[in-house]
Structure 1
Amino acid sequence: MLSRRTFLTATATASAAALTAPAWLPGLATPAAAAVSLPITLQNNSGSAAPVYAYISGADTTGWPGFVASDGTFQRLPNPSATLTPTPDYSIALGATGTSTTVPLSEYVIGGRVWFSTGQKIQFFVNPGPGLVQPGFTSSDPNWLTDWTFCEFTYNSANLYANISYVDLVASPISMQTTGSSGTQTVSPLPAGALASIASGLISQHASDGAPWDTLVATDSSGAVLRVMAPTHATTDFGGYWTSYLDQVWSRFTTTPLTIDTQSQGTFTGTVSGGVLTFSGLNDDGVAFTQPSAADIFSCNSGPLYNSGGDARGAVAARLGAALNRSTLLLAGGENQPGGVAASQYYGNAITNHYARLVHQYATIGYAFPYDDVGPTGSAPVDGHLQDPAPTSWTIALGSGVTGSGGGGGGGGGSVSAYSTIQASTYSAQSGTGTEACSDAGGGLDVGWISSGDWLQYKGLDFGNTSPVQVLARLASGAAAGVSGAVQFRLDSTTGPVVAEIDIANTGGWQSWETVPMNLGSSATGVHDLFLTFGTGSTSDFVNIHWFTFSAT
């Protein structure tokens, strides 16, 4: 498995290798390459009255660092003669909360980040090389009291790949959405209140065990939480935090073999002798598996957990590092990694990576340490990424979820007005359907290939304090004669209360669109997840849907 590690370190140049598109099966048409131009919509959904600024940093295809200006052009940074030279101001001022700003990106950008800051601008610097110096993780950094956050991306001819990661820190929430050849994809933001809950949990953990978890919490002058840093950026040494746990692990595997399935490079079994964990048949590249330090465990890439890359030692180190962060090696089944222990048993020991424990308790997605993707074969990924070989739009929102024409129901931690026009293709989840180019007014994508038993989910629809009286849906059908079906609007689950049902038969073709109104049969108020379920007496596809909305009249 690949780790969704951060693309840039705090002082590195943007030099990450471009990601490649997936291999396509012989005989299938290769999808169109990502066009050079891409509209990037930046949404201010912060809810704050303070000014909000955005930045798009990265490198061009030669590896030279720079920023994307508001007109979409890539501005290469100068190569200064002195360190910590301030960069030109490439901030993109966003409008008031609830508004969007579109940047017409006109060049590929690799190893990139989209940054947001609230209240004041971020100070960036450039070193000779040149190398972009980004906000750091100590109180001496000039951006320490600035409320900033970011997501990562690479955009080249192969694809757009973007992700939200908590490997470095948790900060103000960001959500993303793309449209393109892979349909509509959405990554939801950190749920409301999660940052404060993670910070509070770390402070409580410090009070419980005395370890410096509380020093990971950065606050402003008023005490408000700005960000929570991962232990890799701890300003206070965790010292011998892991020692007693490691002593027990090394004792166990003196007599019990530890088997690690690399899931790509074979399976290796090892035991401890003379304080060294040795795996039979594994070339350790001269770096023995002795007891690691706290810094080694948190980083998964130093000391004995040095990761040599895509070879067998690297795969073993990644899985051993993941097991240590999750404290699973003393559990029944812990002698078989990574499949011997269920995810529900992670972080159960008093000595564990409590930052990762709390991130996964309060966040729905996002890596909390390098190689957080390690798990049993077939397990669900925990990363929050989007990938499209031919994207047509990319929207990034600060605060609550993506909204408006670029959004719809994919808001996740935020809410979306049920009275807005919700594009069907902006579902949060689905079963059995597909998206296609739509010839209806407004274009975009519609959802098709819908048959009995399929469903669509739209998270966080806000119906307000008064129930709507009607739903309107834009539908088309090319179903065979005698084939019809029902589109049911349900609250909170696929078996939840039906608030409206629209019956539909052939409209003259799969792109022959009709706006079909239907009065609500029961009321809906407050915020709910909305599910569209589909039923028919036939096994055939029977309807396409472009958009829907609710009406108070």
Structure 2
Amino acid sequence: MVSRRSFVAAVGAGAVAASSPLWSRSLASRASAAGPSLPISLKNNSGSGTVYAYISGSDTSGWPGFVTTSGHFQRLPSPSSVLTPVADFSIPLGASGSAPTNFTLQDYVIGGRVWFSVGKKIQFFVNPGAVPGLVQPGFTSSDPNWLTNWTFCEFTYNSANLYANISYVDMVALPVSMASTGSGGSQSVSPLPSGALASIASGLQAQHAADGAPWDRLVATDSSGTALRILAPGHSPVDFGGYWNNYLDRVWSYYQSHTLTINGQGSIGSYSGTVSGNTLVFSGLNTNGVPFTKPSAVDIFGCASGPLYNSGGDARGAVAARLAAALNRSSLLVGGGNNQPDGVQPSAYYTDATTNHYSRLVHKYASIGYAFPYDDVGPTGAAPVDGHIQDGAPTSWTIALGPGAGSGTTPPPGGGGTGAYGTIQAESYSAQSGTQTESCTDSGGGQDVGYISGGDWLKYSGVDFGSSSPAQFVARLASGAAAGVSGAIQVRIDGTGGTKIAEIDFGNNGGWQNWQTVPANVTGSVTGKHDVYLVFSSGSGADFVNINWFTFTK
């Protein structure tokens, strides 16, 4: 079963869990191995002059601690009997846009986090025990870090690889970007777009006004009312109670007389079932004594308790993960909902009034990042939603508070340009001819560019390809063109008649909002910054394609 939930799970008051999914991440199939020597750069691109960084985690024995600027992992002492403050391991960064803080990591770190805080240091604590537990910033107003503006990204660095990701499973907060080099080439993850935090907060407040559920209580603000972070509903300070009851009643009623098939994917295979009494019963599936009864709001948002308890990499775990994903997306009663996950495209997620509106809004405003633990579950060919880098032999790793960690990320404000290897929304063009924007029903909503016919074009200024050329151009396309009408999406550099580096030929694929991810090989070498033009060519004067987003891959 494939799943990359947020891997630094909370135990008790926030201690790192040794059983978290990436704690013992196995990558035995990778031929290369990372040695315990990794150059790290920490950047402040936040716009703030006072920023602190921290690197926490555990050593290979599972003992918690912090990395110092010497590059070595320092184990925490175990307190004798009570919760004890941790010594100050903060790494002060320079002013926004200044030179990064550089050092070389000399030890492996498992289940780690890179933290940033603005204006104020984070207070960490340690619990006593045979193996002490690091208590990290929490999600309640009683936490001493509640009014501190902090954020993090996650990683593990062991003999197999560096794996690092940005996740919104726990919360949305200050944007972080990252980049790496190594045997896997140049990789990067773009930050949360500017203004996204405020937009998600506003959307949740509007949703509370619409349905009365405590979505607004997920928004944590400072004394001026500005959003500091937005909690995932699994961390809600207010119980969602019977929020899901109406939807669950409809699902359970429907599947009393219809069959639900869930494909566990890989070697797990498919299981089909119906509702019997108050239980979803899948033929041939051993539920390990935990039947699929109606889950609570806590079960659905957390994807790990009650009937959605995940027993691991077995068939029950696979079915539970996919059922949890379908419930969060409210995709069980839409067209194709009886076939999970392949029967429902992302454009049909979150269309029921009762849904995980936190996840809906995260995907509307953030180009990458999981919003609930099994957000990687989806139909074959769907655009990935995770934001991670992975390298078996990394030679550098850069982490920035704000944009501009490296090639493929958006540069700091005032630097101009857009990263080629992040998701570029089609409607973010700097100039265009002949097209129009329209509402988009693809995953994340927003707008697409449509009404495109031959001779039209879109311009994207200052796209930064970095020091190495991409291998592919990938676009998210849809078409409801008439029979016999098709055309080409040409990717040209520095002008509508500039060098053509890629082309996709496309026609009717079932509808103007029937979204499909289509790749094309890049020819020639493209490095540095260029204006990218999408030039549309067709033998017909009719509209032939819509485009939601595009990117380049290595």
Q: TM-score, normalised by structure 2?
A: 0.76
Could you tell me how far 1:378 is from its partner in structure 2?
3.1
Distance 2:169 2:2 in 1: 14
Q: Which of 494, 501, 523 is the aligned partner of 1:533?
A: 501
Matched-pair contact (CA < 8 Å) for 2:501–2:524: no
Q: Whose Rg is larger? A: 1
Q: Secondary structure at the match of 1:255?
A: coil
Distance 2:65 2:340 in 1: 42
- The runs of 5 or more residues in structure 1 that have no matched partner are 25-29, 431-457, 464-472, 476-491, 503-531, 536-540
Does 2:28 align with 1:66?
no
Matched-pair contact (CA < 8 Å) for 2:494–2:530: no
What residue in structure 2 maps to residue 321 of structure 1? 324
Matched-pair contact (CA < 8 Å) for 1:39–1:392: yes
What residue in structure 2 maps to residue 521 of structure 1? none
Q: Write the letter of the residue equivalent to 1:127.
A: N
Matched-pair contact (CA < 8 Å) for 2:463–2:529: no
What residue in structure 2 maps to residue 105 of structure 1? 105
Could you tell me how far 1:165 is from its partner in structure 2?
0.3
What residue in structure 1 maps to residue 552 of structure 2? none
In 2 relative to 1, CA 412–315 (structure 1 residues): closer, same or farther, beyond 3 Å? farther
In 2 relative to 1, CA 292–474 (structure 1 residues): closer, same or farther, beyond 3 Å? closer
Q: Which of 127, 135, 140 is the aligned partner of 1:138?
A: 140
What residue in structure 2 maps to residue 440 of structure 1? none
Q: Secondary structure at the match of 2:401?
A: strand
Q: Secondary structure at the match of 1:138?
A: coil
Distance 1:154 1:214 in 2: 33
What residue in structure 2 maps to residue 214 of structure 1? 216
Distance 2:345 2:258 in 1: 20
Distance 1:356 1:318 in 2: 16
Q: Write the letter of the residue equivalent to 1:498.
A: G
Distance 2:102 2:460 in 1: 25
What residue in structure 2 maps to residue 393 of structure 1? 396
Does 2:458 align with 1:461?
no
Could you tell me how far 1:35 is from its partner in structure 2?
1.7
Q: Secondary structure at the match of 1:297?
A: helix
What residue in structure 2 maps to residue 57 of structure 1? 56
What residue in structure 2 maps to residue 331 of structure 1? 334
What residue in structure 2 maps to residue 75 of structure 1? 74
Q: Secondary structure at the match of 1:43?
A: strand
Distance 2:290 2:262 in 1: 18
Could you tell me how far 1:48 is from its partner in structure 2?
1.6
Q: Write the letter of the residue equivalent to 1:121.
A: K
Q: Which of 377, 384, 387 is the aligned partner of 2:387?
A: 384
Matched-pair contact (CA < 8 Å) for 2:462–2:529: no
Distance 2:82 2:249 in 1: 44
Could you tell me how far 1:306 is from its partner in structure 2?
0.6
Could you tell me how far 1:533 is from its partner in structure 2?
3.3
Q: Write the letter of the residue equivalent to 2:24.
A: A
Q: Secondary structure at the match of 1:207?
A: helix
Distance 2:461 2:104 in 1: 29
Farther-moved stretch of structure 1 (362-371 vs 79-88):
79-88
Matched-pair contact (CA < 8 Å) for 2:45–2:412: no
What residue in structure 1 maps to residue 94 of structure 2? 95
Does 2:258 align with 1:256?
yes
Could you tell me how far 1:547 is from its partner in structure 2?
5.2
- The runs of 5 or more residues in structure 2 that have no matched partner are 424-458, 470-488, 504-521, 532-554
Distance 1:234 1:460 in 2: 41
Could you tell me how far 1:189 is from its partner in structure 2?
0.3
Farther-moved stretch of structure 1 (171-180 vs 98-107):
98-107
Distance 2:468 2:213 in 1: 57
Matched-pair contact (CA < 8 Å) for 1:190–1:413: no
Matched-pair contact (CA < 8 Å) for 1:400–1:415: no
Could you tell me how far 1:339 is from its partner in structure 2?
1.0
What residue in structure 2 maps to residue 494 of structure 1? 491
Could you tell me how far 1:7 is from its partner in structure 2?
2.1
Could you tell me how far 1:548 is from its partner in structure 2?
6.5
Q: Write the letter of the residue equivalent to 1:312.
A: A
Q: Secondary structure at the match of 2:7?
A: coil
In 2 relative to 1, CA 221–474 (structure 1 residues): closer, same or farther, beyond 3 Å? closer
Distance 1:395 1:152 in 2: 13
Distance 1:542 1:251 in 2: 54
Encode CA deviations 1:46-105: one digit per residue, 9 max, x unaligned: 0123x1000000001111000001111111001002332000100000000002111311
Encode CA deviations 1:378-437: one digit per residue, 9 max, x unaligned: 3232100100000000001101232xxxx245227967446xxx9xxx85279xxxxxxx
Distance 2:70 2:210 in 1: 52
Matched-pair contact (CA < 8 Å) for 1:14–1:132: no
Matched-pair contact (CA < 8 Å) for 1:415–1:462: no
In 2 relative to 1, CA 270–219 (structure 1 residues): closer, same or farther, beyond 3 Å? same
Listed as ranges, the matches of 1:149-168 within 5 Å are 149-168=151-170
Distance 1:13 1:360 in 2: 27
Could you tell me how far 1:340 is from its partner in structure 2?
1.1
Matched-pair contact (CA < 8 Å) for 1:60–1:74: yes
Listed as ranges, the matches of 1:238-257 within 5 Å are 238-257=240-259
What residue in structure 1 maps to residue 184 of structure 2? 182
Q: Write the letter of the residue equivalent to 2:25.
A: L
In 2 relative to 1, CA 499–36 (structure 1 residues): closer, same or farther, beyond 3 Å? farther
What residue in structure 2 maps to residue 272 of structure 1? 275
Q: Write the letter of the residue equivalent to 1:57.
A: S
Could you tell me how far 1:147 is from its partner in structure 2?
0.2
Q: Identity across aligned pairs (percent)? A: 63
Q: Secondary structure at the match of 1:254?
A: coil
Q: Secondary structure at the match of 1:270?
A: strand
Q: Write the letter of the residue equivalent to 1:391.
A: P
What residue in structure 1 maps to residue 477 of structure 2? none
Distance 2:360 2:412 in 1: 20
Distance 2:175 2:498 in 1: 36
Could you tell me how far 1:281 is from its partner in structure 2?
0.3
Q: Write the letter of the residue equivalent to 2:394.
A: P
Matched-pair contact (CA < 8 Å) for 2:218–2:236: yes
Q: Secondary structure at the match of 1:192?
A: coil
Q: Write the letter of the residue equivalent to 2:78.
A: N
Listed as ranges, the matches of 1:2-21 within 5 Å are 2-10=2-10, 11-13=14-16, 15=18, 16=20, 17-21=23-27
Distance 2:44 2:8 in 1: 24
Q: TM-score, normalised by structure 1?
A: 0.76
Could you tell me how far 1:372 is from its partner in structure 2?
0.5
In 2 relative to 1, CA 351–12 (structure 1 residues): closer, same or farther, beyond 3 Å? same
Over the aligned positions, Cα root-mean-square deviation in angstroms equals 2.9
Runs of 4+ with >4 A deviation = 412-415, 499-502, 541-550
In 2 relative to 1, CA 116–459 (structure 1 residues): closer, same or farther, beyond 3 Å? farther
What residue in structure 1 maps to residue 29 of structure 2? 23
Distance 1:216 1:247 in 2: 26
In 2 relative to 1, CA 542–232 (structure 1 residues): closer, same or farther, beyond 3 Å? closer
What residue in structure 2 maps to residue 484 of structure 1? none
Distance 2:122 2:342 in 1: 43
In 2 relative to 1, CA 5–153 (structure 1 residues): closer, same or farther, beyond 3 Å? same
Encode CA deviations 1:90-126: one digit per residue, 9 max, x unaligned: 0000000002111311101000000000010000000
Listed as ranges, the matches of 1:344-359 within 5 Å are 344-359=347-362
